[in-house]
Structure 1
């Protein structure tokens, strides 16, 4: 098993595929944020910037800043579902900055957008009947089925997802396990 200090191979092509995947996952929950704060474009901008990088654009400071802006949007959101939707967008932009280290924390960078999108959808669908759990399972299954080869290949070079992180951490571990099997 690799140790935290070990470097892993990480090609630019893999980084672009992982970032594109993260953007797709985050886009699934974007409407949840936009329903809550329709004038705030920061999460959409972060997803668009991630898409641009995935499509061949440069990995720039502006891309990193768009991720931080989505993070700030999450801090300002007025509903828990909107918070997680914005965090998914933040993770999409951040995926472009995955480090080539054999560190379990890097799994969060790969799967964080999917996990936060699932949590946003779960929270948005919760009501008296508590329908959120099946929605989250469906979102995670979608993320599993749509993961490009680069996601599973890079995950195979990393230790398993770390413990903790509440419900989102649980989603990351579930998805990580499903993608490795």
Structure 2
């Protein structure tokens, strides 16, 4: 599941009781469209004659310009997700990313779905044993994924918001 069960009021429009302005809702839709567009080639390389994911991305952008009604963008997003269903791997997740971008006009929180599916598409497209987005040196054999750096233990003297050290008199 991509979206949380409890909706964040920051992703609910003002007219529905949340705090999201129309201008910010449009920005989220544009961001979601950009996320999906970055991986669209993974779908189009497998299904070059299926325009549905590309149409959903354009629908999200058209909605932000006032050229398309919310229900039209939502419908095109649903069609893109229909294009994803019979597929597997990167192509499927790329189509889902586009579909999620298309439905942001309806529910702003789908912007997170577009980003999450785009990330999944990139991961699925990476060759086995190689981290996504890391170029392979010429002639080098792919090695194991680099290990994540261990997290430093929390320093109780650091302030959470600014990284400022608390002085002895503040404790």
TM-score, length of structure 2 as denominator length: 0.65
Show the counterpart of 1:11: 21
Specify which structure has the higher proportion of helix.
1
Of structures 1 and 2, the larger Rg is shown by 2
Show the counterpart of 2:125: 124
TM-score, length of structure 1 as denominator length: 0.61
Change over 3 Å in CA distance of 1:73–1:5 after alignment to 2: closer
Is the CA contact (8 Å cut-off) linking 2:33 and 2:57 kept in structure 1?
yes
**After the TM superposition, which residues 1-181 of structure 1 pair with which residues of structure 2 at under 5 Å, given as runs?**
7-77=17-87, 79-98=88-107, 106=109, 109-127=110-128, 130-131=129-130, 133-135=131-133
Q: Could you give the per-residue CA deviations for residues 53-96 of structure 1, whole angstroms, max 9, x where no partner exists? A: 1233343322111011011001022x311110000001101111
Gaps of 5+ in 1: 100-105, 137-180
Residue 5 (structure 1) shift: 9.4
The number of residues matched between the two structures is 123
**C-alpha RMSD of the superposition:** 2.3
Gaps of 5+ in 2: 1-5, 10-16, 135-160, 162-171
Greater relative CO (CA pairs within 8 A, separation 6+)? 1
Residue 4 (structure 1) shift: 5.3
Provide runs of 4+ in structure 1 moved above 4 Å.
3-6
